[in-house]
């Protein structure tokens, strides 16, 4: 028997191998159940705390042998995922947003229009409680409304991504769909992090072949928190941007973007770090993007640990954009930073060019580390935002729901109100709807739009005239991780025009043609289908127009 087969047998068989690590030339098998180790395993060293068997072969394994072990693990993971990705009823599950059947989802990945179809991937941790071993699940669509599930695109099955296929983007070439992602690996008792930037390709847009790391080393002075590749064209070559954490000689950590260049997508040389003009701006930047919209170059990224603009926002995570310039020498400079979304739950967005050239965006409607939520009872967590289209106007980004989403609208309902009154109730009979209305700014006091309400549980959108701000208050929703209030300062008394997209356990609120957006997970019971309009003074309500969304 070949040595490798002997080892697999000693581990208790193929099904008992959870993970493979390559620590220098040592081969480390992590087992599902250490009790299945056979007596033959005694000749190798075994760590019971890590459930890992280590073998230092006389001859290093060939790439084919490493690949073979990866295939064994992929087939175990395929079985695991096929057993659990079955539809299960959940009152909180959105009707039309992307959400998992089971498990936890996070960042959208590889969003791209390729050979006549949109492709969208996102990170899935199939087990709850999970171990952050992200898989990339895969959906395609021709209209941005109807999405078709494809086989899982990437499993965390190989030595270079065995603790998670982390986030990244895609490139469409004439022949292939090319995925770039971060391979995340944790080694030893201290779980030392190792990150490489990896590539996988597909000729049919469905089945992907991994080619492993194309960037194996970290940039100088950068910690292993270096991830989330975005690849763009600059003239005659490619650039890769990575979210990075720079460690200064005094030990201080600073978020930056690391830049590489390549002529062929496989061989990359390091260019440098970008973002110095932003100064001290958080300890880590994640999930960069770089794109043109209406003639403006923009870079989105997620800085952690920046000062908050609001007393209500006290978590370290933020997500926003800066105006960017990129010269022919690949010097990227970033200036100014604005939050992309003023709600609770918006992170790690990706953009893609639509077939007609519009710039589309989709984000994760969830936040890192916030995992205790009512949907946990049904074994799933988080959803993605709706697809939005972006515009650059008046020196800032505007976001609107992609116009394609109008195809989901059922019959139009119009509710008119007479006379100034203090309270109105409308039962929309669903928690998945689109609502449009307009408010004149009140002179004093508060005017409230109460959403997803059953009398006991609800979420309030409040025009707080006395404090010149708009509030989103979810303190009367079912208990859940996450903060309870968000605000937008509203100092000019301007009218507030609203477009609300609701979907079972989420709200996305677009204000004044998308100048501001608030995204939120909002858990209320299934019967919370009322909308209330509440004012402290008699108030003239403008008509409400709504559609149920299916
Ligand atoms: C952002 C993030 C990324 C990383 C991914 C792992 O939510 O932390 O930086 O690639 O999640 O799932």
3-state secondary structure 409-456: EEEEEEECCCCCEEEEEEECCCCEEEEEEEECCCCCCEEEEEEEECCC
Residue 28: the pLDDT is: 96
Catalytic residue among 5, 83, 107, 327: 107
DSSP label of 403:
G
Mean pLDDT of the 148-155 span: 97
* pLDDT over 60 (residue 224): yes
Whether 313 lines ligand 1, by a CB cut-off of 6 Å, is no
Percent of the chain residues topping a pLDDT of 70: 99
Q: How close is the Cα of 353 to the center of ligand 1, in Å?
A: 22
- Pocket of ligand 1, candidates 100, 104, 105, 107: which has the most ligand atoms within 8 Å of its Cβ, to mutate? 107
Superfamily for 405-549? Exo-inulinase; domain 1 (2.60.120.560)
Task: With cut-offs at 50, 70 and 90, classify the pLDDT of residue 280.
Answer: very high
Helix (H, G, I), strand (E, B) or coil at 255: strand
Mean pLDDT of the 296-322 span: 97
DSSP assignment of 218-252, as one string? Answer: PPTTB-S--EEEEEEEETTEEEEEEEEEEE-TTS-
107: annotated active-site residue: yes
Q: How close is the Cα of 349 to the center of ligand 1, in Å?
A: 11
* pLDDT over 90 (residue 295): yes
Whether 260 lines ligand 1, by a CB cut-off of 6 Å, is no
Nearest ligand 1 atom to alpha carbon 243: 9
Whether 123 lines ligand 1, by a CB cut-off of 6 Å, is yes
- Tell me whether strands 380-381 and 383-384 are parallel, antiparallel or unpaired: unpaired
Q: What residues contact residue 409 under an 8 Å CB cut-off, 6+ apart?
A: 434, 547, 548, 549
* pLDDT over 80 (residue 131): no
Q: How close is the Cα of 472 to the center of ligand 1, in Å?
A: 26
* pLDDT over 60 (residue 1): no
| CATH code for the part of the protein at 63-87+96-216 | 2.115.10.20
Q: How close is the Cα of 401 to the center of ligand 1, in Å?
A: 24
Q: How close is the Cα of 303 to the center of ligand 1, in Å?
A: 12
Tell me how far apart the alpha carbons of residues 333 and 185 are, in angstroms, rounded to a whole number: 31
Q: How close is the Cα of 429 to the center of ligand 1, in Å?
A: 37
Mean pLDDT of the 379-402 span: 97
Nearest ligand 1 atom to alpha carbon 182: 10
Closest residue by Cα to residue 509 from 541, 477, 471: 471
- Pocket of ligand 1, candidates 104, 167, 185: which has the most ligand atoms within 8 Å of its Cβ, to mutate? 167
**Which residues in 90-236 belong to E strands, given as ranges?**
103-114, 117-125, 135-141, 148-154, 165-166, 170-172, 177-187, 192-202, 209-215, 227-234
Whether 90 lines ligand 1, by a CB cut-off of 6 Å, is no
Average per-residue pLDDT in the chain? 96
Per-residue tokens: 39: 């007596």
Mean pLDDT of the 366-374 span: 93
Whether 167 lines ligand 1, by a CB cut-off of 6 Å, is yes
Tell me how far apart the alpha carbons of residues 274 and 6 are, in angstroms, rounded to a whole number: 49
Q: How close is the Cα of 138 to the center of ligand 1, in Å?
A: 17
Whether 368 lines ligand 1, by a CB cut-off of 6 Å, is yes
Whether 228 lines ligand 1, by a CB cut-off of 6 Å, is yes
pLDDT digits (tens, 9 = 90+) for 84-114: 767 778 999 999 999 999 999 999 999 999 9
Mean pLDDT of the 56-75 span: 94
Residue 380: the pLDDT is: 94
DSSP assignment of 269-318, as one string? Answer: EEEEEE-GGG-S--SEEEEEEEEEETTEEEEEEEEESPPPSSTT--SSB-
Would you list the domain boundaries of the chain?
A: 3-61, 63-87+96-216, 405-549
Mean pLDDT of the 242-251 span: 97
Mean pLDDT of the 263-277 span: 98
Tell me how far apart the alpha carbons of residues 392 and 513 are, in angstroms, rounded to a whole number: 12
Nearest ligand 1 atom to alpha carbon 125: 12
Tell me how far apart the alpha carbons of residues 120 and 281 are, in angstroms, rounded to a whole number: 30
pLDDT digits (tens, 9 = 90+) for 183-216: 999 999 999 999 999 999 999 999 999 999 999 9
- Pocket of ligand 1, candidates 228, 305, 367: which has the most ligand atoms within 8 Å of its Cβ, to mutate? 228
Tell me how far apart the alpha carbons of residues 550 and 96 are, in angstroms, rounded to a whole number: 7
pLDDT digits (tens, 9 = 90+) for 430-472: 999 999 999 999 999 999 999 999 999 999 999 999 999 999 9
Whether 107 lines ligand 1, by a CB cut-off of 6 Å, is yes
Residue 129: the pLDDT is: 74
pLDDT digits (tens, 9 = 90+) for 510-541: 999 999 999 999 999 999 999 999 999 999 99
Whether 182 lines ligand 1, by a CB cut-off of 6 Å, is yes
Q: Do domains 3-61 and 63-87+96-216 have the same CATH topology?
A: no
Q: How close is the Cα of 393 to the center of ligand 1, in Å?
A: 30
Predicted TM-score (pTM) of this structure:
0.96
Measured CA distances, 430 to 261, 381, 454, 501, 531 (Å): 50, 21, 12, 12, 10
Whether 184 lines ligand 1, by a CB cut-off of 6 Å, is no
Q: How close is the Cα of 107 to the center of ligand 1, in Å?
A: 7
Task: With cut-offs at 50, 70 and 90, classify the pLDDT of residue 490.
Answer: very high
Residue 85: the pLDDT is: 66
Q: Does 3.30.1360 match the CATH number of domain 3-61?
A: yes
Task: With cut-offs at 50, 70 and 90, classify the pLDDT of residue 550.
Answer: confident
Nearest ligand 1 atom to alpha carbon 107: 7
Mean pLDDT of the 394-423 span: 96
Residue 416 has phi, psi (to 5 degrees) of -105, 150
Nearest ligand 1 atom to alpha carbon 228: 10
- Pocket of ligand 1, candidates 100, 131, 286: which has the most ligand atoms within 8 Å of its Cβ, to mutate? 286
Residue 342: the pLDDT is: 98
Whether 161 lines ligand 1, by a CB cut-off of 6 Å, is no
């Amino acid at each position: 028997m070949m040595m490798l087969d002997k080892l697999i047998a000693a581990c208790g068989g193929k099904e008992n191998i959870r993970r493979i690590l390559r620590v220098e030339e040592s081969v480390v098998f992590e087992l599902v159940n250490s009790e299945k180790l056979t007596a033959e395993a005694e000749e190798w060293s075994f760590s019971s705390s890590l459930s890992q068997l280590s073998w230092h072969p006389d001859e290093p394994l060939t790439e084919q042998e490493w690949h073979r072990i990866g295939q064994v693990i992929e087939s175990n993971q395929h079985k695991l995922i096929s057993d659990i990705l079955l539809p299960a009823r959940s009152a909180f599950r959105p009707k039309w947003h992307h959400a998992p059947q089971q498990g936890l989802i996070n960042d959208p990945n590889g969003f791209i229009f390729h050979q006549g179809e949109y492709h969208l991937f996102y990170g899935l941790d199939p087990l709850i409680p999970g171990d952050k071993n992200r898989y990339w699940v895969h959906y395609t669509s021709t209209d941005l409304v109807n999405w078709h599930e494809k086989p899982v695109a990437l499993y965390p099955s190989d030595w270079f991504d065995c603790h998670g296929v982390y986030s990244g983007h895609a490139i469409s070439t004439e022949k292939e769909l090319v995925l770039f992602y971060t391979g995340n690996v944790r080694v030893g008792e201290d779980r030392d992090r190792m990150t490489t930037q990896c590539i996988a390709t597909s000729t049919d847009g469905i089945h992907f072949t991994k080619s492993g790391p194309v960037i194996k080393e970290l940039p100088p002075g950068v910690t292993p928190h270096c991830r989330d590749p975005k690849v763009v064209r600059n003239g005659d070559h490619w650039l890769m941007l990575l979210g990075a954490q720079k460690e200064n000689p005094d030990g201080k950590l600073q978020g930056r973007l690391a830049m590489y260049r390549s002529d062929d997508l496989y061989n990359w040389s390091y260019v440098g770090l970008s973002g110095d003009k932003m100064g001290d701006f958080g300890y880590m930047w994640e999930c960069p993007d770089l794109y043109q919209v209406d003639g403006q170059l923009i870079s989105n990224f997620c800085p952690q640990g920046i000062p908050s603009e609001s007393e209500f926002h006290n978590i370290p995570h933020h997500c926003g954009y800066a105006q960017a310039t990129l010269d022919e020498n690949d010097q990227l400079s970033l200036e100014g930073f604005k939050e992309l979304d003023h709600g609770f739950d918006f992170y790690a967005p990706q953009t893609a060019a639509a077939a007609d050239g519009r710039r589309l965006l989709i984000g994760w409607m969830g936040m890192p580390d916030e995992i205790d939520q009512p949907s946990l009872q049904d074994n799933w967590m988080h959803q993605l935002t709706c697809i939005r289209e972006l515009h650059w106007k008046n020196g800032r980004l505007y976001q609107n729901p992609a116009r394609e989403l109008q195809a989901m609208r059922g019959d139009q309902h119009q509710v008119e109100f007479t006379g100034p009154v203090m309270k109105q109730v409308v039962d929309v009979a669903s928690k998945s709807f689109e609502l449009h209305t307009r408010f004149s700014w009140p002179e004093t006091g508060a005017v409230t739009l109460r959403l997803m309400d059953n009398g006991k549980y609800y979420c309030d959108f409040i025009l707080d005239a006395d404090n010149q701000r708009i509030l989103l208050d979810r303190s009367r929703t079912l208990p859940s991780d996450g903060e309870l209030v968000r605000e937008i300062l509203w100092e000019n008394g301007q009218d507030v025009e609203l477009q609300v997209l609701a979907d079972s356990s989420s709200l996305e609120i677009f204000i004044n043609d998308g100048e501001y957006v608030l995204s939120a997970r909002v858990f209320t019971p299934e019967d919370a289908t009322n909308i209330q309009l509440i004012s402290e003074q008699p108030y003239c309500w403008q008509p409400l127009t709504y559609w149920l969304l299916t």
